[in-house]
Amino acid sequence: MSQKKRRVRFAPSPTGPLHMGGVRTALYNYLYARQAEGDFILRIEDTDSQRFVPGAEEYIIESLKWCGIYPDEGVDAGGKMVETPSERHPHAPYRQSQRKPIYRKYAEELVNNGFAYYAFDTSEELDAKRKEAESLKKTFTYNHITRKGLKNSLTLPKEEVERRLAETNNWTIRFKNPENRVVKMDDQIRGHIEINTDTLDDKVLWKAADGLPTYHLANVVDDHLMEITDVIRGEEWLPSLPLHYLLYEAFGWEESRPSFAHLSLLLKPDGKGKLSKRDGDRLGFPVFPLKWVNAEGEVSRGYREDGYYPQAFINMLALLGWNPGTEQEIFSLDELVKAFSLDRVIKSGARFNPEKAKWFNQEYLRMQSDEELAKEFVPILKENGIDTGKYSMEYLKQLCALIKERAHFTNDFWTISHYIFTAPQSYAENDIRKFCTPENLENIRKVKDFLEKTEIKEAPYAKKEEAVSVLEERLTGYIKENGWKMGSIMNTLRLFFVGEAKGLGIADIIYFIGKDEALNRISAALEKISIER
Ligand code: GLU
């Protein structure tokens, strides 16, 4: 590798929300740049006005920010696109629609040097050709053979070409693929690739109708002007690589041609096919970093809104297609920067595992301090109508320490512990049938009397563990002394405290709801269940 400063770019088209595969591409570019102490550039490729989706660019910027992937160029500190070149951003602007005046001269230069030609066929004429080929079970391509029989500057007289250029604007500039030449290419992940130019079609590079370049021209010209040294992008662009190589050659930019790495696709959880934008809603997991609402008002879920920590999302994505060569799975962004290398990026598709994604989040959740978790829990409690003023930070910290073991997300905290904050309004019918035998109810009355007489330490007590285990010993001791079935008594108590025979340990529940509330809940349940019977 030369000593040149590495410059990479993430170049999304604002045609919709960024898929998690796109975030992975951005991440690998970012890691590569950081590791090499190079530059990471965000360029918006918006030359296809037909596919432009309002809000998509903002979505991309916000997603990268949420992930902690900050570009060195392309977006200023305030999140806006940089529109004019400056010392810090000499290659601005970074939105291709704002670079419109740049491209035409490059397209014309190719025509003048014999690497491209003007094509005048209307879309109706080309459609007719396609239909005709289809009826013969063939596919029409504008290539080194068909171009000889079509309306272009290679076939029409010079004056006619000039007249059409001056009088009409429904013409394009197409790349003139050389005949029967082998293009030799190298990919950092896939190795050496060769392709014969006769298999390629003459792609449109520039369109007079809107005065805009197509992806290929704009992409290559900008990579050159922005001094990009390494292109790391999705596998779907691999078929474009021969054309890009030929363009670098035609412009005489081979010396500074970037190196290329094409990342394999993300696959569906069953490994059958590409993970598509629709899979998430169909299979019940997010495929987008953030929630997205389309023009029809349809909502797609996002990792952020589902309660993922961005660090967990990034960690999961990094390992989806790259392996560190060790058993280590948990990496901070800084650790990823140190460990990442393109030669450990896998060639085959990476199968997405939604359960593993949850596991990553759980790991990050457990890494948070109890205080941080308690702070995250407060707004969730408020949303559920709980007056959080009644609970001290210490109380919530102790509760979080206990429930985090059972949660993947802080959003799960409420599901796991709602009954600590609100008494049950009803009791599960099948649990009543199972546990509320007259004999058991009689025993529970005695348990209640026993609890009433027992000294109970309540949350937040400084020695929580000790308080809970003392209570547990006393309670289980009392049940054993009487020769009652442990499971029946404990599950009945749980039913009374929770509303169903599920939940945290009984001693923990009593510790958190307090003695008075525990006694109240037993009385209320005994009364309600006796009346209903
Ligand atoms: N605009 C292309 C995209 O949307 C960029 C491909 C590339 O990185 O060259 O993916």
Residue 232's nearest CA partner among 33, 421, 3 is 33
Q: What's the confidence (pLDDT) of residue 412?
A: 97
Evaluate if residue 78 carries a pLDDT over 70: no
Residue 374's nearest CA partner among 401, 338, 347, 349 is 401
Give the residue extent of every domain in the chain.
7-94+265-356, 97-263, 368-421, 429-532
Q: Does the beta carbon of 45 sit less than 6 angstroms from any atom of ligand 1?
A: yes
Evaluate if residue 39 carries a pLDDT over 90: yes
The CA 13 to ligand 1 mean position distance, Å, reads 7
Q: What's the confidence (pLDDT) of residue 464?
A: 96
Q: What kind of fold does domain 7-94+265-356 have according to CATH? A: Rossmann fold (3.40.50)
Q: What's the confidence (pLDDT) of residue 134?
A: 95
Cβ-based neighbours of 65, under 8 Å, separated by 6 or more: 79
- For atom 10 of ligand 1, the residue with the nearest CA is 12
- For atom 3 of ligand 1, the residue with the nearest CA is 12
Nearest-angstrom CA–CA distance, 418 and 414: 5
The CA 349 to ligand 1 mean position distance, Å, reads 19
DSSP string, 323-363: --SSS-----HHHHHHH--GGGB-SSPEEP-HHHHHHHHHH
Question: Which pLDDT tens digit goes with each residue over 392-422?
Answer: 999 999 999 999 999 999 999 999 999 999 9
DSSP string, 147-198: GGGSSBTTTS-HHHHHHHHHH----EEEE-PPSS-EEEEEETTTEEEEEEGG
Q: Does the beta carbon of 6 sit less than 6 angstroms from any atom of ligand 1?
A: no
Mean pLDDT estimate for the chain: 95
- Specify whether domain 97-263 bears CATH 3.50.50.60: no
Mean predicted confidence (pLDDT) in 316-343: 97
- Closest atom, ligand 1, to C-alpha of 22: 10
Residue 447's nearest CA partner among 406, 414, 400, 496 is 496
The CA 351 to ligand 1 mean position distance, Å, reads 22
Q: Does the beta carbon of 21 sit less than 6 angstroms from any atom of ligand 1?
A: no
Cβ-based neighbours of 343, under 8 Å, separated by 6 or more: 188
Cβ-based neighbours of 24, under 8 Å, separated by 6 or more: 263, 266, 317, 318, 320, 321
Q: What's the confidence (pLDDT) of residue 277?
A: 85
Confidence of residue 282 (pLDDT cuts 50, 70, 90): confident
Q: What kind of fold does domain 429-532 have according to CATH? A: Arc Repressor Mutant, subunit A (1.10.10)
Q: What's the confidence (pLDDT) of residue 49?
A: 86
Domain pair 7-94+265-356 / 97-263, same fold: no
Nearest-angstrom CA–CA distance, 16 and 46: 11
* Backbone dihedral angles phi then psi of residue 415, each to the nearest 5 degrees: -60, -40
Confidence of residue 103 (pLDDT cuts 50, 70, 90): very high
Q: Does the beta carbon of 52 sit less than 6 angstroms from any atom of ligand 1?
A: no
Q: What's the confidence (pLDDT) of residue 87?
A: 87
Q: Does the beta carbon of 478 sit less than 6 angstroms from any atom of ligand 1?
A: no
To 5 degrees, how large is the angle CA 248–CA 250–CA 261? 20
- State if pTM tops 0.85: yes
Residue 90's nearest CA partner among 79, 80, 82 is 82
- Specify whether domain 368-421 bears CATH 1.10.8: yes
- Per the CB < 8 A criterion, the answer to whether 241 and 251 are in contact is no
Residues labelled catalytic: 277
- Closest atom, ligand 1, to C-alpha of 45: 1
Q: Does the beta carbon of 219 sit less than 6 angstroms from any atom of ligand 1?
A: yes
Q: What's the confidence (pLDDT) of residue 530?
A: 78
Evaluate if residue 81 carries a pLDDT over 80: no
| Helix extents (H) in 254-410 | 279-283, 310-318, 333-339, 354-367, 370-383, 393-403
- Per the CB < 8 A criterion, the answer to whether 120 and 156 are in contact is yes
- Closest atom, ligand 1, to C-alpha of 13: 4
- For atom 5 of ligand 1, the residue with the nearest CA is 11
Q: Does the beta carbon of 11 sit less than 6 angstroms from any atom of ligand 1?
A: yes
* Backbone dihedral angles phi then psi of residue 152, each to the nearest 5 degrees: -150, 175
- In single-letter form, the type of residue at position 117 comes to Y
- In single-letter form, the type of residue at position 307 comes to G
- Closest atom, ligand 1, to C-alpha of 15: 4
